[in-house]
Amino acid sequence: MAMSFRRILLVLVAFLFAAVLLSPLWASRLAVTRPLYNIGAYKTRRWWWDHVATPASIGRGSLAGWVTDTEGEPVAGALVLVATPRGQTFYAYSDETGYYSINGIPRGVYRPIAAAWGYELPSQSRPPQVGAPMALGAEPGRFDAVLTPHLSPPLPETVDLQVGPPLTVTSDFALVSQATRRAITFTHEGLAINSDFLYTPRPAGGPWPLLVIAYPSIATNWEKATVPFAASGYTVLAIGPDPDRALDLDGHARDMQLIIGLTQRGRLGPFPAAPDFVLVTGSFGSLYGYRALPDLQHLLAIVNIGGVSDAFLGVQALYSETLQIPPPYDLAIASMGSPDRDPAFFLAYSPAFWARHHPPTYIMHTYEDEVIPYNQAQRLAAALAEAGIPHQLYLYHSDTHYLDPRTPTEQALDVFSRVLAFVDEQYRP
């Protein structure tokens, strides 16, 4: 009886598995159903691997080809990558002739992707940067890609920009301090963006060095941390993702690039001493903060606190026996899809692959972070080290993902001191 029940269960699971495999033509096209489809596919795959059979790759394959631009010229330093459903990546960078070669790829079906700094970085898996599914194994694979040069969007000549009246705000985080806050509202791409604020020291004076902080939510939620930075002698542009953008990370990145550019040009007032600035980001803020990186000018350094550096690693954590993502965050990762089918989505939020183009960076992360595991920090540090980019890595112990300034801990105060010292060093070496 038990054996019969098991067979019936296996048949049902096999039917569901087949339905999952055959349904992307309709499910993956709908924004509402895509996350549900991705979660269902992950759960089915995980159950099958845990209870029936873990896929075994017999043999290894290879992939090679050329990367050129739209004029037919070779693109050197282009990344070409394939990924497994578990998030394991195999990649190479093209040489001066545009040629690349990747060996040791486990036998299977992949969608290769090509991208390069200074060219359009895709967020959706479409040709010619992303190839059709191809079987790699006994026969060498061939994938040639054509990249389109990236042009940073120019600042518009006219912007509906409003800077509110100065208000005095106080914080008891780190030290009792005050700053002047001004609300910022601007219209961009048909949306009224009102989640950013400008903080300056009190009393009035200036101008002061510019510090940009890309927060994971509306900037006033983090005001207790912002005020001490301003009180320490900085013009602080506090950026938060506008709720009207929802999860449009590319849109958040464009908003960020625009407001930084307007600040650098004095459109918010004569407060920044120069266009140079240091960027502090982390958590959700790192997703849109790093996405904006190719379009940011005069960036001196980055502070990354609990940020994402390699989205493929997030998928690996789903299947890891030693570094697991707990519910419900596991389903959030699973809802993003499978990197073997949609590599562009994951590459868009994997700045570690472009470490050679980053400025000096200070990376901070907590060992106990269950939302974004600390191996994200280690991955970025390793990539920066390989690229020869100056960086520091500080891993510490804390029981929260966010360094909440509203209930400050000893660790949060220490992180603030370290960040302030690093920022000071960039302006006052």
d(CA 138, CA 318): 29
Q: Output the pLDDT for position 383.
A: 98
| pLDDT attached to residue 185 | 96
Overall size of the chain counted in residues: 429
Assign 222 to helix, strand or coil. Answer: helix
Give the single-character DSSP code of 137. S
pLDDT, one tens digit per residue, over 3-52 is 444 444 444 444 333 333 333 433 444 444 555 556 566 666 666 566 66
**Regarding beta strands 99-106 and 60-69, do their DSSP bridges make them parallel or antiparallel, or are they unpaired?**
antiparallel
Q: State residue 58's pLDDT score.
A: 64
How far from 38 is each of 31, 34, 87, 89, 263, CA to CA, in Å?
A: 11, 6, 14, 20, 40
Could you write out the DSSP letters of every residue in 182-229?
EEEEEEETTEEEEEEEEEEESSS---EEEEEEE-SS-GGGGHHHHHHH
Q: Quote the pLDDT of residue 205.
A: 85
Give pLDDT < 70 ranges for the chain.
1-59, 318-337, 402-403, 429
The answer to whether the CB of 294 falls within 8 A of the CB of 118 is yes
Q: What integer pLDDT is reported at residue 21 of this predicted model?
A: 38
Structure tokens at 16: 């569901």
pLDDT at 5: 40
DSSP codes joined into one string, 140-165 = PEE--EEEPBP-PPPPPS---EEEPP
Under a CB-based contact definition with an 8 Å cutoff, are residues 226 and 213 in contact? yes
pLDDT of residue 316: 82
pLDDT given at position 248: 85
What's residue 157's pLDDT?
Answer: 80
